[in-house]
Structure 1
């Protein structure tokens, strides 16, 4: 049986990360090199950009298309491809495992990888030599439901499946700017609260982050980009090591913090 794999939370930030690696790209590349020392049967990505009404869905095709689900960016972004090969048999295995946990999960043979999935993967595993499947977040989902969802995924870590949850530590697009000397005032108080809460593996506080975290509404006007972090945290045990990869602030309002839960 493969060793228990870590679970990763990645802030994918702006689609421009694909061509502007900044601090994030090298950190993810180094992380990917360390992760490849493990026996990884497949990668399962949960992206903030795939929400499915009423039930979870999981990609089940042999070849996953690269979805350019954004507009108004330079042409070079739309030329990028991540040649991931799918994992239909492992998708069925994941479906069965999650159904045993009481989740409603359907196979999806049409869906590819959105930018929340393929952009981090191009840095983590640039050779695209590990099979990939993507799992949607069933919608509607609040913080409490995200934690329950994450807890149901725990057993996959013992099956050689590397779980990557891709979202954003902060995600207020109204505050995006281009002066690297400016940082939105709410970012530090918010991410410091998150860091403290993660360190104490406080799922109860996380479930109530809208009420408890300072400036939660400014940091996340909507929930979907924060929920992958809650899923990743809930998928870990409270005695596992936690590693933070801090890649700074981009575009004034995007905190590029990443977390690894478990040994790697």
Structure 2
């Protein structure tokens, strides 16, 4: 019988994470070594960097290209490849599961992995030995809809599919800087609030985080990078173990907190 796989929320931070591991890289590598012992049939990645209009999409190609969807970074970043294999069969399985719940899903056999997907995978699964499918976020989506969406993904965890939701604990690019001695003043209050809500599995509070979380607007001027955390929380159960991997703060404004929901 297939054991229930955990759900991950990963903060992918700046694209520079690919070449500057900092505190987060080793944490993800260690986590990946534990995950590698599990019976994982495929990985389903949801990234803040693939947003589609109205309907979620799934990658369905046999081989997924590495998308370097950023500009102005060192050349070495653009030379990194994560040659993930896809799985049209698993994409069809996920599509069937979601459509059984009334969610219309499209397939894209040309789409590859954006940096919100391949950079975490580079640390978690460096051997590139597990098929990957990426699932887009259908826009518009608010916190309530993210909860509903995450709940629809729960059954996949019992079918050998590891869910990785990739976003950011904080994501205000206006406050990004290069002084490691400073950090945005709103980060710690916001992160502490999120930690308490996540560990209590309080979906109602998370649904209303814009009103309830201190400095929510400063931490997330837009919802896109926070929705993956809400989706991951909703895809977990209230009584499951919650493990926090705290990766510090990079570029003054990016809190690098990660969560694992469930046993691993």
* Same fold by TM-score greater than 0.5: yes
TM-score by length of 1: 0.99
Q: Which structure 2 residues correspond to residues 75-86 of structure 1 after superposition, within 5 A?
A: 75-86=75-86
d(CA) in 2 for partners of 1:87 and 1:133? Answer: 7
Question: Deviations 1:85-117 (Å, cap 9, x if unpaired)?
Answer: 001100000000011111111111011000000
Give every structure 1 segment of 4 or more consecutive aligned residues whose post-TM-superposition deviation is greater than 6 Å.
none
d(CA) in 2 for partners of 1:245 and 1:109? Answer: 34
Q: CA RMSD in A?
A: 0.5
1:29 aligns with 2:29: yes
Q: Which structure 2 residues correspond to residues 66-215 of structure 1 after superposition, within 5 A?
A: 66-215=66-215
Deviation at 1:160, TM superposition (A): 0.1
d(CA) in 2 for partners of 1:198 and 1:186? Answer: 18
d(CA) in 2 for partners of 1:49 and 1:102? Answer: 24
d(CA) in 2 for partners of 1:85 and 1:115? Answer: 16
Deviation at 1:219, TM superposition (A): 0.1
- Matched position secondary structure for 1:43: strand
Deviation at 1:174, TM superposition (A): 0.3
Q: Which structure 2 residues correspond to residues 218-237 of structure 1 after superposition, within 5 A?
A: 218-237=218-237
Deviation at 1:72, TM superposition (A): 0.5
- Matched position secondary structure for 2:138: strand
d(CA) in 2 for partners of 1:104 and 1:211? Answer: 31
d(CA) in 1 for partners of 2:43 and 2:87? Answer: 9
* Contiguous gaps of at least 5 residues in structure 1: none
d(CA) in 1 for partners of 2:263 and 2:157? Answer: 12
